[in-house]
Amino acid sequence: MNEPFVIESVCNHLKKNTTHFWIDTHPTLKHLSFNKFRLNIDGHAPDIFGVDKYNRVFAIEAKGIDNIEKAIGQALIYKKGVMYSYIAAARFKLKRYRDLIESIGLGLFLVDESGNIEQIEPRFSYAPIFLNDVSNTIELLLAEKKPSIRLVKLGKTQVLNYISPIFYTSLSNPIEKSSLQTIITRDWGVDLFKDSHVINGCLYLGLLQEANNNFSLTPLGEGFCKSLLKMGYNNKILIKIKKSLKGNKKLYDEEPELAYMIRTLYERKIEYQQFLKILYSFNRTEISMDEILEVVIKSYPTMYINIFCNKKMDFEEIRKYYQEGDYEKLKSREILEKNLNRNIYFAFKIQLLHLGILCSIKFSDNRSSSSFSGKFEDYDPKCDIWVINGDLK
């Protein structure tokens, strides 16, 4: 009995019990058709994690017939991030360790050769230090239909561009992708044949939907379009506003009502809510990126890996430092230069400035509240200040 068989058997059992779950993205599980996501709990990735019908967050470490002692150690680590932690393995093998496993507060999934499961609940649990991070991740995965499109990974563009497609289609009249690209490129001056961020942004915000290479408005998109028109914002006016936003001019400063309307779309997104929750947790208006990174790295490791790190990140290296508890190394320039997603302090920050969540102020020293567009070698997280608009809290 091998590990993939155990994982598949447990997942089939979970499906019967109305449980939301994901399996790890490890290559050996590629053939399994279950939802996949890599979770990070203190540098370790559980084979299965999720939330059950009682809203209890859980993680499962699976083995076949070997390395049960190692599984026990990993399952104990998962207790830092979940309410209930389990070990899944061959029934005959786990029975030898059952008393030990139950005595340390772990549950069991005993799997037989036919894939039948006996589930034994943990005897007790305690408050996990990474529970918020894991719960936030599950909430995001449950809420987002397109988790591959992430808010902070959208490229640099004026936030008005994200709503530009809504005037060229409707709920009942789809438009072919190349036609939409041609029209917006012509009217808005954004080359959609080279830049997918505008359409991705509109999809992400829930205004647009795609089917068979055609785009149409969602019910939300149609309602949003009608609201803009009632407020006097048509396509030509929005293009004119966009052209007027030169230099340091921000949408919130010039058109606060319009910025607020667009901000309501962002506020529906779980990762946006999570990020703002972290900003507001400092209970002051000026926070450096260095301080933000410290909180995210220590308390939200999955958010750090999936949002703050770029696609080329060295996951094994990051995991190594998490396992060693070396948070200073994770925050070092050497590691950040290789792994930090530039969009966080560049494009994403620009969006928050346009929406009025952040505001720009001048400092007498080398600190800056603007977005940083240069090379990382010239970037200092301690001088990158995120100034919260106090009126919006």
Q: What string of pLDDT tens digits covers the 393 residues of the chain?
A: 899 999 999 999 999 886 799 999 999 999 999 999 999 898 889 999 999 877 888 999 999 888 898 999 999 899 888 989 999 999 998 888 888 898 888 999 999 999 999 999 887 665 566 777 777 777 667 666 554 445 655 655 678 888 999 999 887 888 998 998 899 889 988 776 666 778 888 888 889 998 888 999 999 999 999 999 999 999 999 999 999 988 788 999 999 999 999 999 988 888 888 888 899 999 899 999 999 999 999 888 888 888 888 878 888 888 888 888 888 999 999 999 988 888 888 888 988 999 999 998 889 899 999 888 888 889 999 999 999 987 655
Q: How far apart are CA 385 and CA 389, in angstroms?
A: 13
pTM surpassing 0.85? Answer: no
pLDDT at residue 258 in the model: 94
Model pLDDT, residue 147 = 47
pLDDT at 157: 64
Question: Thinking of the domain 151-265, which architecture would CATH place it in?
Answer: Orthogonal Bundle (1.10)
Instruction: Say if CB 252 and CB 259 are below 8 A apart.
Output: yes
Sequence-separated contacts (24+) of 254-261 with Cβ below 8 Å: 256/356, 257/231, 258/228, 258/231, 258/233, 259/354, 259/355, 259/356, 260/356, 261/224, 261/227, 261/228, 261/231
39 within 8 A of 137, measured Cβ to Cβ: yes
Q: What are phi and psi of 126, to 5 degrees?
A: -150, 175
Q: In what order do the strands lie in the sheet with 208-211?
A: 175-176, 214-217, 208-211
3-143, what's its fold?
A: Trna Endonuclease; Chain: A, domain 1 (3.40.1350)
Q: Burial letters for 365-374: b for 16+ Cβ neighbours within 10 Å, e otherwise?
A: eebebbbbee
Q: Report whether 358 contacts 352 (CB < 8 A).
A: yes
Backbone angles phi, psi at 100, to 5 degrees: -65, -50
Burial of residue 91 (number of CB atoms within 10 Å: 0-12, 13-18, 19+): middle
Ordered by start, the domain boundaries in the chain are: 3-143, 151-265, 269-392
Tokens of 220: 């939300």
* 243 and 204 Cβ atoms separated by less than 8 Å: no
- Which of these, 56, 51, 52, 22, lies nearest to 39 by C-alpha position? 22
Q: Report which residue type is found at 338.
A: K
Interatomic CA distance for residues 218 and 207, integer angstroms: 5
Task: Give which of 175, 69, 162 is closest to 350, Cα–Cα.
Answer: 162
* Residue at 262: amino acid letter: I
Confidence at residue 156, expressed as pLDDT on a 0 to 100 scale: 58
**From CA 52, how far away is CA 60, in angstroms rounded?**
12
How do 117-120 and 48-51 pair as beta strands?
unpaired
**Contact criterion met (CB below 8 Å) for 381 and 289:** yes
- What is d(CA 303, CA 315) in angstroms, rounded to the nearest whole number? 13
Query: Vertex 101, ends 96 and 102: CA angle to 5°?
Result: 110
| Residue 296: closest CA among 264, 341, 334 | 341
